[in-house]
Amino acid sequence: MNIEHILTATIQKAVADLYNAEIDANSIQIQDTRKEFDGDKTIVVFPFLKLSKKSPELTAAELGEYLQKNVNEIASYNVIKGFLNISIATSYWISVLENAAAQGAQFGKKPVTPQSPTVMVEYSSPNTNKPLHLGHIRNNLLGFSIAQILEANGKRVIKANLINDRGIHICKSMVAWQLYGNGETPQSSGSKGDHLVGNYYVAFDKQYKKEIEELTQQGMSEDEAKNAAPIMQQAREMLVKWEHGDTETIALWTRMNNWVYDGFAKTYSRMGVSFDTMYYESKTYLLGKQVVMDGLARGILYRKEDGSVWADLTPEGLDHKLLLRPDGTSVYMTQDIGTAIERFKEFGDMQELIYVVGNEQNYHFQVLALILKKLGYAWAHKIYHMSYGMVELPAGKMKSREGTVVDADDLMEDMLQDSIAISQELGKLSGLSPAQAAEIHEMIAQAALKYFILKVEPRKTMLFNPQESIDFNGNTGPFIQYTHARICSVLRKAAEQGLYPPAQLPQVECAPLEIEVIKAINRYGESISLAGAEHAPSHIANYVYDLVKLFNQFYHEHSILNEANENQKLFRVALARQTATVIESAMNLLGIRVPERM
């Protein structure tokens, strides 16, 4: 049983026996003892003073004596003013390690059962007019990681990707390809499909800017020029054709989107992210339009003179939101309405629908929930926007339409080359075959990228520094991987010596650092719960780094395989093995693999 539960139950009994009173379990405050004091757990005594009618010190002493007599897990206690510090017996910590080892890879996690609540996590949501970039990397890593974490919290998780495969931005790439492509394909150019289509998106923007400049020189205002630019007119005409099912337009759209999907699949595979279900805006927007028209008929929405349809959100302190343009085409909000409705129809009473989207869309998701509520959907409050900050490089922000986007594929390849260079410089992978070294180089590169991004609290804007991320020292993915590989080396040598710790560990005298490592291992479940509750993988990253630091301190101060006492040696092998298990489990929640050799 958890020590906090044991203490809580015994304190309730102590108050009844000592003071002939009852106390609610929620009013009992148990904290980790501060480092400057002796003890493991601290009980705040002040809530008991009205019952004891005694001083804080005397009340604490009476409770401490009662607990020590009635709880075998308590070794000693001390009183500091109104605080009772409890020292837990070594035998208890050894039992904690035994129980953790018995649970294996499931340690710290809650099982997923048929009764588990369902949660959907939508992430990635790329546009089919350009390749994935650094911002998408943060999105995908956050989405995949929080899905892993929620599953570890006992939730049935559906990982969803909504492909933004329609709209004016898609038509821009299509128009540019028609104008400048000369039949170019990924096969004819040797270019990855998403990169090829992205090049035409950039080409559209360059021509658009040129036409705006020409029109403003002829006397138009900038807004007038933006509307009148011929290439933009072509894109708008193409969007109308698409929504009316024009055969040639649909054929070109299908062809170019398939190029992009092939490219995305390669990027997702290398990034190590996956999805359980895919949605396409080209299908979901129709339901959104239907729902909007129904809301108009019911008087919930209204139509302007130009034919556009709007939601009035001024009673909620917001403004008016466009849902259908004058030409009848839909906007992002319309299709998001349809997608949300479709998901709740498909998966029933989901506990939460999580959208992993950058913080520039905070207003969008606030409005989405409000409109769905106005339209009468009782589950509207279950929409949660997992907002995150933008990613910047030392050189500055990314601007995709100017063709200066930090491409995800290029970044991952650069990380790999850095991994190879640093590993060779340090001699980390000497003795491995070329195939083994190549696999580990990729693992190191991915760990450097993923850990550096995920260790930052999601809502914060972050600066990604590739050089810092791949360091083998400090708070980095490669440092944690190296510690895991070091432990695996110790375990291999232990196996060669026939050292296999029994299920019931020997009772030994543990050094303070050994106890601290066990305490850190024991906090893994709390870390998973906190990360799930706050939708923040950074809690897992910070947890595993703290565990690794503690283990490395223990490793440098205490011998494992050269320990003379056989029982002590077995215990330390067990401690090392469970540390490695938790490191691997925690890193897996971040989507990171850990090698056994480095």
Given this model, what pLDDT does residue 400 score? 44
| Amino acid occupying residue 215 | L
Report which of 261, 245, 251, 237 is spatially closest to residue 128, judged by C-alpha positions.
Answer: 261
For residues 561-581, average pLDDT:
96
Residue 128 per-residue DSSP state: T
Instruction: Give the DSSP per-residue string, 268-319.
Output: HHHHT---SEEEEHHHHHHHHHHHHHHHHHTTSSEE-TTS-EEEE-GGGT--
SS3 label, residue 209: helix
For residues 268-275, average pLDDT:
97
- Rounded Cα gap, residues 524 and 547, in angstroms: 9
Position 403 pLDDT exceeds 70: no
More confident residue, 439 or 423: 439
In contact, 445 and 545? CB cutoff 8 Å: no
Backbone angles phi, psi at 550, to 5 degrees: -65, -45
Position 305 pLDDT exceeds 60: yes
Q: How confident is the model at residue 438 (pLDDT cuts 50, 70, 90)?
A: very high
- Rounded Cα gap, residues 577 and 484, in angstroms: 10
Q: How confident is the model at residue 404 (pLDDT cuts 50, 70, 90)?
A: low
| Amino acid occupying residue 542 | N
Given this model, what pLDDT does residue 282 score? 87
- Rounded Cα gap, residues 369 and 361, in angstroms: 13
For residues 61-88, average pLDDT:
95
- Give buried/exposed letters for 22-58 (b at 16+ CB in 10 A, else e): ebeeeebebeebeeeeebbbbbbbeebeebbebebee
Given this model, what pLDDT does residue 405 score? 66
Beta-bridge mates of residue 325: none
**Which strands make up the sheet holding 74-80, listed edge to edge?**
30-32, 41-44, 83-88, 74-80
Superfamily of 408-589 according to CATH: Isoleucyl-tRNA Synthetase; Domain 1 (1.10.730.10)
- Rounded Cα gap, residues 6 and 14, in angstroms: 12
Beta-bridge mates of residue 353: 120, 383
- Rounded Cα gap, residues 570 and 380, in angstroms: 55
SS3 label, residue 386: strand
Given this model, what pLDDT does residue 162 score? 95
Contacts of 552 (CB under 8 A, 6+ apart): 483
SS3 label, residue 563: coil
Position 121 pLDDT exceeds 80: yes
**Distance of CA 287 to CAs 236, 250, 290, 292, 436, Å?**
22, 19, 5, 9, 50
The label of the residue with tokens 């018995």 reads 102
Given this model, what pLDDT does residue 89 score? 95
The label of the residue with tokens 């998403």 reads 194
- Rounded Cα gap, residues 201 and 537, in angstroms: 34
Q: Would you put residue 267 in left (φ > 0), alpha (ψ -120 to 50) or beta?
A: alpha
For residues 184-206, average pLDDT:
96
Domain boundaries, the chain: 3-88, 123-402, 408-589
pLDDT in tens, 142-152: 999 999 999 99
Given this model, what pLDDT does residue 1 score? 66
pLDDT in tens, 356-372: 999 999 999 999 999 99
Position 340 pLDDT exceeds 80: yes
Position 401 pLDDT exceeds 60: no
Contacts of 293 (CB under 8 A, 6+ apart): 309
- Rounded Cα gap, residues 310 and 220, in angstroms: 29
CATH topology of domain 123-402: Rossmann fold (3.40.50)
- The two tokens of residue 279 are 């949605």
**Distance of CA 245 to CAs 238, 417, 530, Å?**
10, 46, 48
Total residue count of the chain as it appears in this document: 598
In contact, 39 and 87? CB cutoff 8 Å: yes
Strand pairing category for 320-324 and 309-312: antiparallel
Report which of 243, 251, 226 is spatially closest to residue 283, judged by C-alpha positions.
Answer: 243
Give the containing element (helix H, strand E) for 383.
strand 383-388
- pLDDT averaged over the chain? 94
The label of the residue with tokens 């938790």 reads 582
Beta-bridge mates of residue 234: none
pLDDT in tens, 459-472: 999 998 888 899 88
- Rounded Cα gap, residues 423 and 440, in angstroms: 10
- Rounded Cα gap, residues 597 and 481, in angstroms: 9
pLDDT in tens, 471-512: 888 999 999 999 999 999 999 999 999 999 999 999 999 999
Given this model, what pLDDT does residue 584 score? 98
Backbone angles phi, psi at 330, to 5 degrees: -95, 165
For residues 35-50, average pLDDT:
94
Strand pairing category for 302-303 and 391-392: unpaired
Position 423 pLDDT exceeds 90: no
Q: How many percent of the chain have pLDDT more than 90? A: 88
- The two tokens of residue 187 are 């096969």
- Rounded Cα gap, residues 477 and 444, in angstroms: 7
- Rounded Cα gap, residues 481 and 592, in angstroms: 9
- The two tokens of residue 571 are 């215990």
User: For 3-88, which CATH class?
Assistant: alpha beta
In contact, 139 and 273? CB cutoff 8 Å: no
pLDDT in tens, 512-527: 999 999 999 999 999 9
| Amino acid occupying residue 337 | I
Given this model, what pLDDT does residue 425 score? 82
Given this model, what pLDDT does residue 452 score? 96
